[in-house]
Amino acid sequence: MGLDPGYGRMGFGVIYVEGTKMSLVDYGVSTTTSGDAFENRLLSLANDLGDLFAHHQPSAVAIEKLFFGKSSTTAMNVAHARGVALLMAAQAGCPVFEFTPAQVKKAVTGDGNAGKAAMQRMVKELLNLPKPPKPDDAADALAIAITASTKRW
């Protein structure tokens, strides 16, 4: 399972890997309401992730490392959501693998500076999908899962 952390939308992507073959199992986003108290938004994410872990029972979780952009407030809030995801993975007994955005781009497209469109095209190709997955958060989560599946641990 790949997770693209966020507190407004957290992307998730579940793939099945057997040898060198990958197939799509599920993907989407967990969303929270902007007017809700922040702690309730985190609780909502935890509940959604708990349901996903119970339903899919992933053997591992891959999550994007936090990238600090221009807003430190946003980064801190994303860090809180990321902490919820790490906690839920630990409670589910899943090993966690972390990747930077550049590592994910490099693993999926061969270019550590690839754009969103290139990433989505490669996720589509690698998972044999009829069209690129949407929204971006879910596509990113699938790319993170693909990255973990290509690493030899």
Residue 64 known to be catalytic: yes
- For the beta carbon of residue 36, count every other beta carbon within 10 angstroms: 12
Annotated active-site residue in 26, 51, 137, 140: 137
Radius of gyration of the chain measured on its C-alpha atoms: 15
Residue 137 known to be catalytic: yes
Annotated active-site residue in 51, 64, 98, 136: 64
Number of H helices, E strands in the chain: 5, 5
Exposure on the CB side of residue 8, measured as CA atoms within 13 A:
6
Annotated active-site residue in 4, 39, 48, 111: 4
Residue 111 known to be catalytic: no
Q: Looking at this protein, which amino acid is placed at residue 57?
A: Q
Q: In angstroms, rounded to a whole number, what is the distance separating the alpha carbons of residues 119 and 123?
A: 6
Active-site residues, by number, are 4, 64, 137
